[in-house]
Chain A
Amino acid sequence: MTLQSLTYLVVGFTFALYIGIAIWARAGSTKEFYVAGGGINPVANGMATAADWMSAASFISMAGLIAFMGYGGSVFLMGWTGGYVLLAMLLAPYLRKFGKFTVPEFIGDRYYSKAARIVAVICLIIASVTYVIGQMKGIGVAFSRFLEVDYNVGLSIGMAIVFFYAVMGGMKGITYTQIAQYCVLILAYTIPAIFISLNLTGNPIPQLGLGSTMAGSDVFLLDRLDQVLRDTGFAEYTTNFRLSATNMFMYTMSLMIGTAGLPHVIIRFFTVPKVKDARSSAGWALVFIAILYTTAPSVAAMARLNLMSTIEPTPGEYMVYDERPQWIKNWEQTGLLGFEDKNGDGRIQYTSDADTNEMTKVDRDIMVLANPEIANLPNWVIALVAAGGLAAALSTAAGLLLAISSAISHDLLKGVFRPDITEKQELMASRLAMAGAIAVAGYLGFNPPDFAAGTVALAFGLAASSIFPALMMGIFYKRMNKEGAIAGMVAGISVTLFYVFQHKGIMFVQSTSFLGGMPENWFLGIEPNAFGAVGALFNFGVAFAVSRMTAAPPEHIMTLVEDIRVPAGAGTAVSH
């Protein structure tokens, strides 16, 4: 069977599985949908959270970025896992105790203010839409490759499928679907990693393979990789900083705080039975996430090594273009991989020098998908990877779209502007909001501001600078009042957006970047993707200063805060 029909078969089968489970689990439980969350076991909830959380950025994009950044890519590994520590200790148990369903709802109640709720909704929408752009990029890459079309065509098809998938609706809340998606994506990620690790090092466990010697030699894999890169003029893999230690520190911090500030992740912890379970559920989620995240560094290093040895099979002897393997031809069609024979010798020189480098375009986001082909793995593995990438992208995109649409229909319309609308109208509004979000994110996805993981990093920066500080101070600082919280959120997200837009263009349209993307203009050498941590500091500072100058919150709010600090008397979550 050809690769393409095998891919259709595997992708089709997994889709049928998700839809089947959704229908099966739905029967008789529509009414339970919101309240029921209450009965979900923390381990199951952890697995579902992991599927919800790991997106195209984790699955398709991250290892590719690490492959080219080396050590510098560690910011993603630490940043996207360390945030769960913050969630488990600083937010999840308290928000579970509070027992509401949306994040703006907590902010509106804790800061006794509709204005605070509206500001939270706006921050949530900005961060989530940016996140969806990142997913769209990943989906576009996956579809363009497997349908063998241009990236833009792939993206358009992807948009249509996401729309259908999200509007089918409710899927997100159904934990069993997400458990199935987790299984598909984790198998799809680890199986090729095991094969490749076995090929290169003889050790089937990728986490150990990365620290082992190359099969049939006594040179360590990482030393070999460093050597190969040095010889071709690239920076050493294991010591290559991302710009600077300061930048890496801020980048990691931004991703961690952002993880704990993203609404679609936070709400997962409202669905466990007890406060106690909210703590351990964060731990289980991280266990399931760590399986992928500790495999990713091996995938990255091994992919880079395989790529280098494909292009330069023996030192100094580059690949002849006309004899290039099939996978290169396939990726060339998508426009995401490109060559230019500058010196006309019919071979592809791949070097760090822009003047002589002939591999003129390597989109980082193709690495994970191309990896099994580069390593000559059987076709069914390649098909499985396609299915896994789509599972990751679709489950997260659908989750985010639901968070966006519920913020608009539940928090804005029903909660603030038009409390009298019917349930039917609320549903209609949420569908329209969803369609709008897909259109905006898809449109911006045609010219994404960065690779998928980079775009997603921006979204985390925005969430870090706005939502996390307001939540944390709401729990840990009783004296925080509405004036302080609102001023903090506005200041945090404005500073971050201003910084991002001035370097990446207004709404990420590149020609409008009024200060240019030039690194020399970066504040303390911090790149825009990493700026969320600075925004969060701003948020904390402004909120603190303003709250000291204005009246303390009323007595009943102080009591509310004391109440959420102790687990006793939580009851099940209620919607209102």
Chain B
Amino acid sequence: MSNNASYWSANLKLVAICMVIWFVCSYLFGIILVEPLNNIQIGGYKLGFWFAQQGSIYVFVALIFFYANRMGKLDREHGVEEE
């Protein structure tokens, strides 16, 4: 497999992992499983409600920086970073 092809498949794998986290923290915890999660209370927040209105947003921010960081590493490993 050529260097560019293996770079691309590593990238796709990373994107897939991030997309799973993205889906879980918003759609799964915030919508699909919101009712069972609401039985857990954190301070004044019901947990499902917290994910929908607070938690998912924090995860999104962390996720983008995680992705940017890992991609930077991949760029270097495959020698495809910009000059």
Q: With A249-B27, A566-B7 as known contacts, state yes or no: A238 contacts B19, CB within 8 Å.
A: no
Checking A223, A239, A248, A280 against B68 with a beta-carbon cut-off of 8 angstroms, the contacting residue is A280
Query: Could you say which residues of chain A place their CB within 8 Å of the CB of B79?
Result: 568
Evaluate contact between A207 and B54: CB separation under 8 angstroms.
yes
- Check: A37 CB closer than 8 A to any chain B CB: no
- Check: A82 CB closer than 8 A to any chain B CB: yes
Closest chain B residue to A90, Cβ basis: B15
- Tell me the interface secondary structure of chain B in the complex: helix
Closest chain B residue to A226, Cβ basis: B46
Query: Could you say which residues of chain B place their CB within 8 Å of the CB of A77?
Result: 52-53, 56-57
- Check: A176 CB closer than 8 A to any chain B CB: no
Evaluate contact between B64 and A84: CB separation under 8 angstroms.
yes
Measured between alpha carbons, how far is A151 from B10 in the docked complex, in Å?
Answer: 55
> Which residues of A (54-73) have their CB < 8 Å from a CB of B?
66, 71
Checking A88, A210, A297, A562 against B64 with a beta-carbon cut-off of 8 angstroms, the contacting residue is A88
Closest chain B residue to A86, Cβ basis: B22
Evaluate contact between A287 and B61: CB separation under 8 angstroms.
yes
Count A-B pairs with CB separation below 8 Å.
139
Evaluate contact between B81 and A85: CB separation under 8 angstroms.
no
Evaluate contact between B60 and A294: CB separation under 8 angstroms.
no
Evaluate contact between B53 and A249: CB separation under 8 angstroms.
no
Evaluate contact between B75 and A276: CB separation under 8 angstroms.
yes
Q: How far is the CB of B11 from chain A (nearest CB, A)?
A: 8
Evaluate contact between B18 and A85: CB separation under 8 angstroms.
yes
- Check: A124 CB closer than 8 A to any chain B CB: no
Please report the total number of A residues contacting B with Cβ < 8 Å. Answer: 50
Checking A78, A220, A276 against B44 with a beta-carbon cut-off of 8 angstroms, the contacting residue is A220
- Check: B80 CB closer than 8 A to any chain A CB: yes
> Which residues of A (267-302) have their CB < 8 Å from a CB of B?
274-276, 279-280, 282-283, 286-287, 290, 293-294, 297
Query: Could you say which residues of chain B place their CB within 8 Å of the CB of A249?
Result: 27, 31-32
Query: Could you say which residues of chain B place their CB within 8 Å of the CB of A324?
Result: none
Closest chain B residue to A83, Cβ basis: B60
Evaluate contact between B65 and A283: CB separation under 8 angstroms.
yes
Q: How far is the CB of B17 from chain A (nearest CB, A)?
A: 10
Measured between alpha carbons, how far is A213 from B43 in the docked complex, in Å?
Answer: 9
Annotate B2-37 by CB proximity to A: 1 below 8 A, 0 otherwise: 001001100100010011001000110011101100
Checking A208, A252, A274 against B82 with a beta-carbon cut-off of 8 angstroms, the contacting residue is A274
Evaluate contact between B22 and A567: CB separation under 8 angstroms.
no
Measured between alpha carbons, how far is A570 from B80 in the docked complex, in Å?
Answer: 11
Give chain B's interface residue range (CB within 8 Å of chain A).
Answer: 35 or more
Evaluate contact between B71 and A78: CB separation under 8 angstroms.
no
Evaluate contact between A212 and B44: CB separation under 8 angstroms.
yes
Q: How far is the CB of B38 from chain A (nearest CB, A)?
A: 7
Evaluate contact between B82 and A89: CB separation under 8 angstroms.
no
Checking A90, A211, A279 against B71 with a beta-carbon cut-off of 8 angstroms, the contacting residue is A279
Evaluate contact between A71 and B49: CB separation under 8 angstroms.
yes
Q: With A223-B44, A274-B82, A569-B82 as known contacts, state yes or no: A71 contacts B52, CB within 8 Å.
A: yes
Annotate A240-251 by CB proximity to B: 1 below 8 A, 0 otherwise: 000001001100
Measured between alpha carbons, how far is A275 from B58 in the docked complex, in Å?
Answer: 24
Measured between alpha carbons, how far is A283 from B65 in the docked complex, in Å?
Answer: 6
Query: Could you say which residues of chain B place their CB within 8 Å of the CB of A93?
Result: 71
Annotate A343-356 by CB proximity to B: 1 below 8 A, 0 otherwise: 00000000000000
Among B32, B35, B44, B79, max chain A CB count under 10 A is at B44
Closest chain A residue to B12, Cβ basis: A476
- Check: A222 CB closer than 8 A to any chain B CB: yes
Annotate A512-546 by CB proximity to B: 1 below 8 A, 0 otherwise: 00000000000000000000000000000000000
Per CB-CB distance, the 7 closest pairs between chain A and chain B, nearest first, are A220-B44, A74-B52, A283-B64, A279-B68, A211-B43, A297-B53, A211-B44
Given contacts A220-B44, A283-B64, 17 further A-B contacts (CB under 8 A): A77-B56, A78-B56, A81-B56, A85-B19, A88-B68, A211-B50, A238-B46, A239-B49, A245-B32, A249-B32, A252-B30, A276-B82, A279-B68, A280-B65, A293-B57, A297-B53, A565-B8
